[in-house]
Amino acid sequence: MPIRWPVVPRQSVDDAIALLESYGGVAVVGADGTGKTTVAEQIADRLGEKNPVRVIATGTQAGVPFGAFGPLVEVTEVGKPAALIRSALDSLLAQADSTLIIVDDAQLLDPLSATLVYQLARHPQARLIVTVRAGGTLPSAVTALWQDGLLARLDLGPLDEAETQALLAALDDPRDDSYQRSGGNPLELRMLTQTHSVATSLDALVDTYLAELPAPARTVVSYLAVHEPLSRSDLAVLAGEEGIEQAETAGAATLFGAMAYAGHPLFLERVARTADPADARRLRTEIVTQLATQPCRDLADRLGRAVLALDSDAPECVDDVVTAAQQALRLGDLSVSERLATAALARSERFDARLVLSYALAWQGRGREADSALAAVDADALSEAEVMAWALPRAANQFWMLSEPERATAFLQNIRKRISTTADRLTLDALSATFAMNAGNLARAVEIAAEVLADPEAEDMAVAWAASASALSSARMGRFDQVGPLVARALGAEHPGLLRFTVGLAQTTTLLMAGQPDAAHETAREFTDFAELAQPGRSIGEVLMAQVLIAQGDPASAARLLGPAAATLDRTGYSWGPLSLMYLAMALAQQGEIAESAKTLSRAESRHGTKSALFAPELGVARAWQLAAMDDTDGAVEAAREAARGAERSGQLGVAVWAWNQAERLGDPHAAAALAKLAEAGVQAVR
């Protein structure tokens, strides 16, 4: 008879319950076969929770936005990530019959599901038990659960001697419930207990288990290896009732509500690893055909079907594939959007598919690929609306990703000549305001943005670009009283891509200059919370946090964030890349790490240009701290002075105050007079 995974009381359950009561949640981390799911169930049982909310992540759902949560949440197609997550969170908590939520195999969560789990961990209403496979790459939102102190981490090891003896004793007593649930095979269970200390034998044991399954049960596992979960009704059509019953009896499959899952993720991994590609494609086609007989349960199911059909002999119509790609893009899942749009283009040359692909590539920082996708469009054949849809991402891509700001500006001006509607021209102007700001021409940026924002015909995209550019420009110019209304205007619009972080930088800069570091820290933390959806968003959020940490005198924590963040952003063309390197060089120098600071500063200088001219003062201050780390006090003071004077020349009077403060910290005796002069000019900030 096939082996069933043993159920044995773990002494770790007592520890887990204590941690759950102290933290509100616990992450059970361990290798395969150590009983993580069993421990989670035993915790729920000890707590008297008969019907906890169960979320089971699977390999196939990992490629679908909100795949793990499926019908548990109502997904609204919102362009704002924060609102999207809040909507999903509210709908889940409103529908839940229990405050205890068990998330199984969190290492397989898609980015949106992982972000939702992180937000659940922060919510006072929810109690969480999350199981995680040890080793391998984990979603950043999952590791943040214990790194940010939201959940206690409980590392689950192999069965200890007492637990092993309890299991073996149970095997000698057929009346014991654990014996009955284990399948009643003492020899094979003894082999299983030994695998807890010999990890390499686990794969062989699984292979033996699968080989001994009855053929109908193996068929069930084969279908689940292609698409998990499947509804019981669909699986019955595909594999037959007998197969389901055999698989469930043997522990190869398990039912939660109407959905069928594998008894253990290892079963599916081993089957998928050894499956013949032709057989897998046949099974996938059969599943796609069967699913098509039923309406989609939710948006996650809709996108899951679209992805599943890509590698089948029953592809969806191109219209549906493009729609799915657009939905994935709005949900922030760039990899799924890219894959679907690419598949659509392989079957039919379509402008809408090419546009989605360009956004998905550009927002991942893959500028040259995005430019190639857009360059293939015949612009002369486009309508005016299509010209707008094509020109905006192409100009933005040229400016940031390709580091060709002059070409981007000229391109935008030429496109404007082809546009006749006021609303569209305002949108082009708003993007040019953003270009002007990044190029360091803040006065021009504010002037253009004001014209856009004053026009009632300005549409959401124009408002978002204009208001975010004006908010950050105003903050850096020292016009702090203007920042709040502009931030509100920007946040009130559906803004594309990563503009929310421009708004965030305006907020943190203003709060720091107003002497409110705690409020700035909270604002930055909110941006990192909601930046979990995908890179490079998470890294940009961490740049905001690092700015605050440096201002709070904690360069070590800032450097820990900026190391990986700068590495991620360095691979993109965003101006956040040079800024992250500037802050990192500054943080390293303030800790006396001369060699690493010098290396980082050199990278920042090589990547700095017109697209990041706005941040020239930060580069100068980073250079000043590097010189100070080398005990060159005179050089450090002069570098800080030049950074402050450069900020003044470019109209960044608020940043000039910050730079003169840095000069004063480095020993400049004339900084106080310069600060007094700025105060007379009306720039007030806490020193």
pLDDT, position 167: 58
Going by C-alpha positions, the residue among 619, 618, 683, 655 that lies closest to residue 473 is: 655
Structural domains counted in the chain: 3
Q: Is residue 602 situated within a structural domain?
A: no
Ordered strands of the 127-133 beta sheet: 53-56, 100-104, 127-133, 25-30, 152-156
Indicate the range of 82-86, 469-473, 477-481 predicted with least confidence.
82-86
Domain boundary among 310, 331, 360: 310
Indicate the range of 63-77, 296-310, 372-386, 599-613 predicted with least confidence.
63-77
Going by C-alpha positions, the residue among 523, 514, 575, 576 that lies closest to residue 548 is: 523
Let me know: does 262 contact 230? Beta carbons within 8 Å. Answer: no
Do 329 and 302 fall into the same domain?
A: no
Q: Is residue 269 situated within a structural domain?
A: yes
Do 128 and 239 fall into the same domain?
A: no
Is the bond leading into 277 cis (omega within 30 degrees of zero)?
no
Do 219 and 346 fall into the same domain?
A: no
| 119 HSE (CA, 13 A, CB side) | 27
Per-residue pLDDT tens for 623-672?
999 999 999 999 999 999 999 999 999 999 999 999 999 999 999 999 99
What does each C-alpha distance from 256 to 66, 88, 208, 372 come to in angstroms?
Answer: 18, 21, 26, 46
Do 329 and 229 fall into the same domain?
A: no
Q: Is residue 98 situated within a structural domain?
A: yes
Do 16 and 106 fall into the same domain?
A: yes
Domain boundary among 310, 338, 367: 310
Q: Is residue 368 situated within a structural domain?
A: yes
For residue 262, the SS3 value is: strand
For residue 576, the SS3 value is: helix
Q: What range does the domain containing 251 cover?
A: 210-310
Q: Is residue 103 situated within a structural domain?
A: yes
Do 95 and 17 fall into the same domain?
A: yes
Per-residue pLDDT tens for 237-292?
999 999 999 999 998 999 988 999 998 888 999 999 989 999 999 999 999 999 99
Do 215 and 232 fall into the same domain?
A: yes
Do 64 and 178 fall into the same domain?
A: yes
Q: Is residue 28 situated within a structural domain?
A: yes
Question: For position 20, which CATH number holds?
Answer: 3.40.50.300
Q: Is the pLDDT confidence value at 177 over 50?
A: no
Average pLDDT of the segment spanning 52-58: 91
Run of H or E residues at 266: helix 265-274
Domain boundary among 247, 279, 310: 310
Do 326 and 286 fall into the same domain?
A: no
Distance (Å, rounded) from C-alpha 469 to C-alpha 185?
A: 69
Q: Model pTM greater than 0.85?
A: no
Q: Is residue 5 situated within a structural domain?
A: no
pLDDT, position 196: 44
Do 28 and 150 fall into the same domain?
A: yes
Q: Is residue 476 situated within a structural domain?
A: no
Q: Is the pLDDT confidence value at 7 over 80?
A: no
